[in-house]
Amino acid sequence: MHAFRSHTCADLSAANAGETVRLAGWVHRVRDHGGVLFIDLRDHYGMTQVLCDGDSAAFKAMEKVRSEWVIRIDGTVKLRDASLINPKIPTGEIEVYVRDIEILGEAEELPLPVFGELDYPEETRLAYRFLDLRRESLHDNMILRSNVVKSMRKRMWEAEFNEFQTPIITASSPEGARDFLVPSRLHPGKFYALPQAPQQFKQLIMVGGFDKYFQIAPCFRDEDPRADRSPTDFYQLDVEMSFVEQEDIFNTMQPVLQGVFEEFADGRTVDPVWPRIPYAESMLKYGSDKPDLRNPIEMQVVSDHFRDSGFAIFAKLLEQEGTEIRAIPAPTGGSRKFCDRMNKFAQEQGLPGMGYIFWRKAEDGSGLEGAGPLAKNIGPERTEAIRQQLGLGEGDAAFFLGGAPASFEAVAGRARNVIGEELGLTDKSQFKFAWVVDFPMYEADDEGKIDFSHNPFSMPQGGTDALDGDPLQVKGYQYDLACNGYEILSGAIRNHKLDIMYRAFEIAGYGKDEVEKRFGGMVKAFKYGAPPHGGCAAGIDRIVMILADTANIREVIMFPMNQRAEDLMMGAPSEPMNEQLRELRLRVLPKED
Confirm or deny that 29 is annotated as ligand binding.
no
Cβ pair 383, 375 in contact under 8 A:
yes
Going by C-beta distance under 8 Å and a sequence separation of 6 or more, which residues neighbour residue 577?
A: none
CA–CA separation, 317 and 322 (whole Å): 10
Phi, psi angle pair for 250, to nearest 5° = -60, -45
Cβ pair 208, 194 in contact under 8 A:
no
**Antiparallel, parallel or unpaired: β 433-437 and 276-278:** parallel
Confirm or deny that 541 is annotated as ligand binding.
yes
Dihedral sign computed on CA atoms, order 572, 170, 541, 295 = positive
| Residue 239 CA: distances (Å) to CA of 113, 168, 456, 458, 512 | 41, 17, 17, 15, 28
Confirm or deny that 539 is annotated as ligand binding.
yes
- Whether the ω angle into residue 573 lies within 30 degrees of 0, i.e. cis, is yes
Cβ pair 249, 535 in contact under 8 A:
yes
CA–CA separation, 590 and 24 (whole Å): 52
Cβ pair 313, 325 in contact under 8 A:
no
3-state helix, strand, coil in the chain (%, to 5): 30, 25, 40
| Residue 353 CA: distances (Å) to CA of 250, 413, 420 | 40, 15, 19
Confirm or deny that 348 is annotated as ligand binding.
no
CB atoms within 10 A of CB 173: 17
CA–CA separation, 401 and 45 (whole Å): 54
CA–CA separation, 130 and 558 (whole Å): 9
Provide the 8-state DSSP code for 554.
Answer: G
Going by C-beta distance under 8 Å and a sequence separation of 6 or more, which residues neighbour residue 426?
A: 292, 294, 295, 417, 420
Provide the 8-state DSSP code for 553.
Answer: G
Confirm or deny that 175 is annotated as ligand binding.
yes
Q: Determine the Cα angle at 38 with ends 37 and 42, to 5°.
A: 140
Confirm or deny that 454 is annotated as ligand binding.
yes
Confirm or deny that 222 is annotated as ligand binding.
yes
**Antiparallel, parallel or unpaired: β 478-483 and 433-437:** antiparallel
Q: In a 3-state reduction of DSSP, which class is residue 153?
A: helix
Confirm or deny that 542 is annotated as ligand binding.
yes
Confirm or deny that 487 is annotated as ligand binding.
yes
Binding residues for ATP: 221-223, 487, 539-542
Binding residues: 175, 221-223, 454, 487, 494, 539-542
Binding residues for L-aspartate: 175, 221, 454, 494
